Structure 1
Amino acid sequence: MAHCEHVPTAALAADTVLSRMRALDTALPARDGVAVFHRVYLAATREARPHLRGGRPGDVAATALDVRFAERYLAAVDAAEDARRPPACWRPLFQFRRHPGVRPPQFALAGINAHVGHDLALAVVDTCRTLGCEPVELEAEFDRVGDLLAALEEHVREELLPGPDLLRVTDPLTHLLGSWSLERALDATWSAARALWALRRLPDVAGEFTERLDAAVGFAGRMLLTPLPD
């Protein structure tokens, strides 16, 4: 498991990621769909970012996972800005980011879907390689990230959805957002992370598995971004 000498590196990496996210928050236009996801994600990250307390191994693991997780999202943003293809899971959000028929909570949940379904599984594997540990040793950190994402989803539903007098059972948005479950996504992600770790010595199979995972998460994201009537 992680040793205390990882603490300065982990803390520096966490500061770098948070600085990049703050800079991106300033750069993104207010009405941009990516900005909708980014701002709720940044708010949750600021609130729940772990603090390194004396270099305990669990703190290092938590920070390492947070950093690897955020870096996956930032890499997708960089790819889109450089006119390169981001992972398939993120493409719908970048393609529909300015579509007038897509509502803010759709953008936010599509971002959560991509980040949970694809990025988190790969971040667990990245962290295991960095720290020389097994996925089971990161299960507590994974659950903590799940709690962060649950708070993020709750924020989306409370802050971005219209009031109860406007959001009715017959509203297509109600049905669309009800079709996606964070709990099920997290269960699938944990299974995917364990499978990828088990396949690490079979790079061809692991690569195919990752590609299929990416595509499946992207398909779900595209459904979440279905344009809706006013």
Structure 2
Amino acid sequence: MEAVLARMRALDERLPAQDGVAVFNRVYLTVTQTLHHRIGHGGFPAPRRAETLSVRFAERYLRAVETDGRAPACWRPLLQARRHPGVRPLQYALAGINAHIGHDLALAVVSTCRHLGCEPAALEADFDRVGDTLVSLEERIREELMPGPDLLEVADPLTHLLGSWSLERARAGAWSAARLLWALRRAPELAEEFAESLDAGVGLVGRCLLTPILTTPSRPPANAVRSPAGWSPVG
């Protein structure tokens, strides 16, 4: 666990504070530090299983952001929009959580099962405790990164956009995906096809979460009339 924490801290030091990956990295560093503390202080009944799952989970994120143009589809929206002036920090954080929970968590469960020689059912309690840690931090993340009342013009569409995504549903979907991938382990072509479909679907959700939010709504000119092709000035 210390190794992945060191890599996250190195990213935090290297990236500009407003970079979208940096925003998510700060959130995930906090999550991983919390998990590390809980594992080390008896918060998990099987510490070795919990640490293996947490490390393999974190490594998938680190590989995605440290590669050069070869990241999975679920991470590409964040990597491509990481410096977009119309994307808010909360969007970056939740887009990263979406990619990591929606795609990486299922694959980390399967990888952990292969490594430890166990069935997914043996990891269910650890999976739930890891998920509980993430859920407990989500509200704090939203509170810290949501624009203040002086930016209600931004917050209204942002609230609508982000209210359509749920960490609880993403976590439940990840567990179902992990069980299915495990069941397909003796049919590698089907497993790969499902994993690619999962990756693409999570990436599509990420693109929606990163929809730019304009600080000032665009308005047509005062002398404009609307036509089927759009607004056109008169005279």
Structure-2 residue corresponding to 1:64: 52
The percentage of aligned residue pairs carrying the same residue is 68
Cα deviation for residue 152 of structure 1 reads 2.9
Please list, as runs of the form range in 1=range in 2, the aligned pairs for 1:73-92 lying within 5 A after superposition: 73-79=61-67, 83-92=68-77
Secondary structure of 1:139's aligned partner: helix
8 Å contact kept, 2:35–2:130: no
Aligned residue identity for 2:63: A
Please list, as runs of the form range in 1=range in 2, the aligned pairs for 1:83-102 lying within 5 A after superposition: 83-102=68-87
Structure 1 residues 203-225: Cα deviation after superposition (integer angstroms, max 9, x where no partner): 00000000000000000000000
Q: Separation in 1 of the partners of 2:82 and 2:150? A: 27
8 Å contact kept, 1:168–1:174: no
Matching of residue 43 in structure 1 with residue 47 in structure 2: no
Structure 1 residues 176-196: Cα deviation after superposition (integer angstroms, max 9, x where no partner): 000101111111110000000
Q: Separation in 2 of the partners of 1:199 and 1:163? A: 47
Matching of residue 127 in structure 1 with residue 96 in structure 2: no
Structure 1 residues 70-92: Cα deviation after superposition (integer angstroms, max 9, x where no partner): 0000000111xxx2320000000
Aligned residue identity for 2:28: Y
Q: Could you tell me which of 141, 159, 162 is aligned with 2:126? A: 141
Q: State the TM-score, normalizing by the size of structure 1.
A: 0.88
Q: Separation in 1 of the partners of 2:23 and 2:155? A: 25
Secondary structure of 1:179's aligned partner: coil
Structure-2 residue corresponding to 1:152: 137
Secondary structure of 1:51's aligned partner: helix
Unaligned runs of 5+ in 2: 216-235
Q: Separation in 2 of the partners of 1:187 and 1:73? A: 19
8 Å contact kept, 2:39–2:50: no
Q: Separation in 2 of the partners of 1:154 and 1:108? A: 12
Q: How many residues are matched?
A: 213
Structure-1 residue corresponding to 2:193: 208
8 Å contact kept, 1:52–1:60: no
Q: Of the two, which has the highest radius of gyration? A: 2
Structure 1 residues 132-170: Cα deviation after superposition (integer angstroms, max 9, x where no partner): 000011001111111121133222211000235644798
Cα deviation for residue 51 of structure 1 reads 3.4
Cα deviation for residue 131 of structure 1 reads 0.5
Cα deviation for residue 47 of structure 1 reads 2.2
Q: Separation in 2 of the partners of 1:152 and 1:86? A: 26
Q: State the TM-score, normalizing by the size of structure 2.
A: 0.86
Q: Separation in 1 of the partners of 2:58 and 2:91? A: 20
Matching of residue 29 in structure 1 with residue 22 in structure 2: no
Instruction: Give the CA RMSD over aligned residues.
Output: 1.8
Structure-2 residue corresponding to 1:15: 2
